[in-house]
Structure 1
Amino acid sequence: MKHLTILVPEGKGNNISSIAGAYKIFSRANDFRSLNGSRPVFTIELVGLSGSATFYDGLFSVRPHKQLREVKSTDLIIIPSLNHAFDEALKQNSELVNWLKEQHAKGAEIASICTGAFLLAATGIIDGKKCSTHWAAADELRKRYPTINLQPDLLITDEDGIYTNGGAYSFLNLMIYLVEKFYGRETAIYCSKVFQIDTGRDSQASFAIFNGQKRHGDDLVLAAQEFMEKRVAEKFSVDGLCDTFRIGRRSFDRRFLRATGNSALEYMQRIRIETAKKALESSVETVAEIMYGSGYSDAKAFRDVFRKITGLSPAEYRLKYQQLVF
């Protein structure tokens, strides 16, 4: 039988739901196998750095089955979501970094949930590899670990035995994905039905809120961003922006991309689409009116950019988010 390690990191702000959820789903998968006359796939153990970890200001605690030093080898490791105070979280769990590297070198596969990607990235294991995390933490992860191939729109990544997922409760989709990989399709469908988890999702793009990448320290780029955000509905050109700020196009393009991770044109597209999203969520304007108010005059171009950024058409987005109470 294989061994599954669900890590219990230190830190009061860590997410207990991703620990308990992973444990419940894999336990149910084992039970389903047993009921159908097959051996369970994994021995499942919660493993931590101490005998007990507390969560949410001491309201909850988890007592791991084993401490880290007791686990010499394992087959699959799940890293749960971390405290968003990343410096503190990484410092408190530095021992896990070396252990993860050792286990990976022995052949263990590793799955990170949400901001657990920060702990995974600290190992260097995913340098050059695809990785996702919560959309709200993507800029910080990119800043800290620029060598990873960050794919923040993807709900799940799978490369060379390393699995990552987007954010929050989308970890349930990753768990079903792993159950299918290790137990088979029948068990995965059973678990998805028992826990009522929608399958088939591959993107978290429609959930993302674009707040702009402004923690970069380049005052000129920051001024350009604010200038653009105040003129969403106006005609836009990068050359015109360069003239306004009296800077050459090549230099501006280089500085803007380095500071934000987007070209100026991509940035304007994202703030225009964010404007359209908010209008689709709350207003009674037609899609055409929202399109014009967001700076677009070509319906096809608007739909294409909207779908590229959110994964949905404007009409689909409105249907998904406009009415939440029935």
Structure 2
Amino acid sequence: MQSAVLGLIDVFQFANRIIAQYPQAGLPTFAISRWRTDGPLVESGNAATVPPVKLVPLLDVLIIPPSIGGTYYEAPHWVLVDWLKAQHARGTIVCSACAGSFVLAATGLLDGRRATTHWDLSSQFAQRFPNIHLNTDHILINDGDVVTAGGLMSWMDLGLELVEQFTCPTVMIELGKFLIIDTGRREQRYYKKFVPPFGHGNAVVLKAQHYIQQHFHTDLTVKMLAEHSHLGERTLLRKFISVTGLKPSEYVQNIRIQKARELLETTNLPIEKVALVVGYEDAGAFRKIFKRLTGLSPREFRVRFSV
């Protein structure tokens, strides 16, 4: 995604301009280089083949940009993977944005650690890298020597994070003002849409899912779903969790909250009425569940996203 590559260069160059306004602070400035893979080579954007890793100048940070098309991120070249691991072993902080997390995950550096990626890639990521603690509620997870960001535009959040980390909060805030970017903390779950998995091929679970889709606003129980699916409760529960990754009660909550999000975005219904329409008689309970799943209260969500 070239806009991310060039945009990050702009972010760091503008940061340098702000740093220059505080000479007494003794803050470091950013020197930027671009790298690419070309078959078996890892090359600089401005030079020929890179020499062996030990001869490459030590990089403080490496950023793997998002991918807007193609499938390279699904199977990155082993030369790139080994090169990233070697740079990390020398002390380089390795970062990724959006689908770039797949490349970073392929190095094994995220195993057993927290990470994020684009919410729409979460199922694919979780299946391929089960040893990574994926959390797509967050736009950015800084785990010290590895940093992951989710979303196509999360490179902006990543850039601001690195500016603050290597300089100071004042420079980051001034940079946000100059670029007219909101430097307040955001979360990916503000934007995340719940998309139920229907293409798994399990007819029994699919039957339960279709029933939930039609009756989500009613008082559903595992017993009711099991009877509808002609299975025992334990069997249905086991199959449902295996296929969807959620308990039926959690699945129903996600369906209800997704419907509530749509109503808050497109209608002027009072929040109490929205709660009733999606199946919550207690508006207070609805507010708590909505905040837990989206990170915002229903009112905050409507102010931010209403059409």
Q: TM-score, normalised by structure 1?
A: 0.85
Q: How much does 1:108 deviate?
A: 1.1
Of the candidates 29, 36, 60, which is equivalent to residue 22 of structure 2?
36
Aligned to 2:2: 16
Matched, 1:257 2:238: no
| Unpaired runs of at least 5, structure 1 | 1-14, 52-62
Q: In 1, Cα distance between the equivalents of 2:74 and 2:213?
A: 35
The residue matched to 2:110 in structure 1 has which SS? coil
1:81 and 2:69 aligned: no
CA contact (8 A) 1:173 1:197 kept: no
Aligned to 1:151: 135
Q: Which letter does structure 2 place at the counterpart of 1:115? A: A
CA shift, 1:68, in A, is 6.6
The equivalences for 1:142-181 within 5 A come to 142-181=126-165
Q: For 1:312, which of 283, 292, 296 is the aligned residue? A: 296
Question: Contact conserved, 1:34 with 1:40, CA < 8 A, in 2?
Answer: no
Instruction: Report 1:293-304 matches (<5 A).
Output: 293-304=277-288
Q: Show the counterpart of 1:287.
A: 271
Distance of 2:48 and 2:210 partners within structure 1: 50
Distance 1:152 1:319 in 2: 23
The residue that corresponds to 1:65 in the other structure is: 46
Deviation at 1:202, TM superposition (A): 3.6
In 2, the alpha carbon distance for the partners of 1:167 and 1:68 equals 31
* Residue 271 (str. 1) matches residue 255 (str. 2): yes
Which AA in structure 1 matches 2:3? S
- Asked if structure 2 preserves the Cα contact closer than 8 Å seen for 1:303 and 1:314, the reply is yes
Give the CA deviation at 1:252.
2.1
Are the structure 2 counterparts of residues 236 and 154 from structure 1 closer, same or farther at C-alpha, using a change threshold of 3 Å?
A: same
> How far did 1:257 drift?
1.7
**Separation in 2, partners of 1:308, 1:260:** 20
Give the residue type in structure 1 aligned to 2:231.
I
CA contact (8 A) 2:73 2:99 kept: no
Question: In the alignment, which residue of structure 1 is the partner of 2:184?
Answer: 200
| Secondary structure in 2 matching 1:279 | helix
- 1:172-231 CA-partner distances (Å, limit 9, x unpaired): 122111110011122212211111121222411111111113343322222221221111
- Structure-2 change in CA distance of 1:304 and 1:27 (3 Å): same
Which segment is superposed worse, 221-230 or 295-304? 221-230
In 2, Cα distance between the equivalents of 1:293 and 1:68? 62
User: Do the aligned residues in 2 keep the contact of 1:47 with 1:67 (CA within 8 Å)?
Assistant: no
**Structure 1 stretch displaced more, 70-79 or 259-268:** 70-79
Aligned with 1:45: secondary structure? Answer: coil
CA contact (8 A) 2:140 2:148 kept: yes
C-alpha contact (below 8 Å) 1:173/1:198 kept by paired residues: no
Alpha-carbon distance, 1:152 to partner = 0.3
Aligned to 1:27: 13
Q: List 4+ stretches of structure 1 deviating above 6 A.
A: none
2:105 counterpart of 1:117: no
Name the CA shift for 1:297/1:68 in 2 (closer, same or farther; >3 Å).
Answer: farther
- AA at the equivalent of 1:74: L
Cα deviation code 1:77-121 (max 9, x no counterpart):
0010024543x4444544321111111122211111111111111
Kindly provide the amino acid, as one letter, of the partner of residue 255 in structure 2: I
The DSSP-based 3-state class of the residue aligned with 1:43 is coil
How much identity, in percent, do the aligned residues show?
33
For 1:48, the equivalent position in structure 2 comes to: 36
The one-letter amino acid paired with 1:319 is V
Letter in 2 for 1:41: T
Amino acid at match of 2:14: R
- CA gap of 1:216–1:65, structure 2 versus 1, over 3 A, is farther
For 1:206, the aligned partner's letter is Y
The amino acid that maps onto 1:25 is V
For 2:155 and 2:244, the matched residues in 1 are separated by 27
Query: What is the root-mean-square deviation in Å for CA atoms of aligned residues?
Result: 2.1
Q: Is the alpha carbon distance of 1:50 and 1:67 closer, same or farther for their aligned partners in structure 2, counting shifts above 3 Å? A: farther
